[in-house]
Amino acid sequence: MKGRGLYASFLLFFSLLVLLVGATTVLAQSTVELAYDDGVASGSTSLSTGEFMAVRFSLPSGWSEGRLLTARIDVLSGAGTSFKVHVLDSDGSTPLITPVEVTPPATGWLDVDLSAFNLVVTDDFYIAVEFEEDHNPWIGYDKTSPIDGRSYHGQPSSWILYDDRDLMIRAVVEELVPVGGVVLPVYELRILILCIATLAMAVPLIVTLKKRIP
């Protein structure tokens, strides 16, 4: 009986180890950068103070919800000029976070960390740039076909579609997965499985030690 118990514990541990490896694989695929440009700027554009430009994002196919981690904006010129980053609901006007004011220290891709908001999205959402200085900074755009029809300018209540370009604004999102009726980020699922695997190893060891104690 003792041998069978240890064998069963070993099988349980091995099965959980396989799940842990699987969770690690999912982790490597769980963070996605949503982009509608091809990464090569065709030019750059800017707007007047108080105007906005934005990109509408959709979650990857098969995702029911995701956590927004980062906004990425390609600043081609105007480093040192502050602007605000907004996240808007699928209607293109309802704010989902408090606007974040950022100042790019240099040209190139600017990563704006939004993870502290713990924002979970289940539908389309917009990342918008609000200009605080006339025609500064200049944001890259891509004119390579096909044009995705997701880039806008104007005001959140009355967007005007850019039909000839894709703005170089991107979003990094993290997939959420359900565990026992509770939605967890994939990295938390990995920790949960690791804890269970550790427990599976500890139980037979504790039982063995108890049997040895007179």
Express each pLDDT in 42-85 by its tens digit.
Answer: 999 999 999 999 999 999 999 999 999 999 999 999 999 999 99
Q: How far apart are CA 164 and CA 149, in angstroms?
A: 8
Is residue 116 within 8 Å of residue 65, measured between CB atoms? no
Architecture of domain 35-176: Sandwich (2.60)
Residue 28 has a pLDDT of 37
Q: What is the pLDDT of residues 74-127, one digit of tens each?
A: 999 999 999 999 999 999 999 999 999 999 999 999 999 999 999 999 999 999
The more confident residue out of 29 and 198 is 198
Residue-range domain boundaries for the chain: 2-29+180-212, 35-176
Is residue 97 within 8 Å of residue 86, measured between CB atoms? yes
> In this model, does residue 182 exceed pLDDT 70?
no
Say which residues have a Cβ less than 8 Å from residue 51's Cβ, sequence separation at least 6. Answer: 130, 131, 153, 154, 155
Mean pLDDT computed over every residue of the chain: 83
> In this model, does residue 41 exceed pLDDT 50?
yes
Residue 113 has a pLDDT of 98
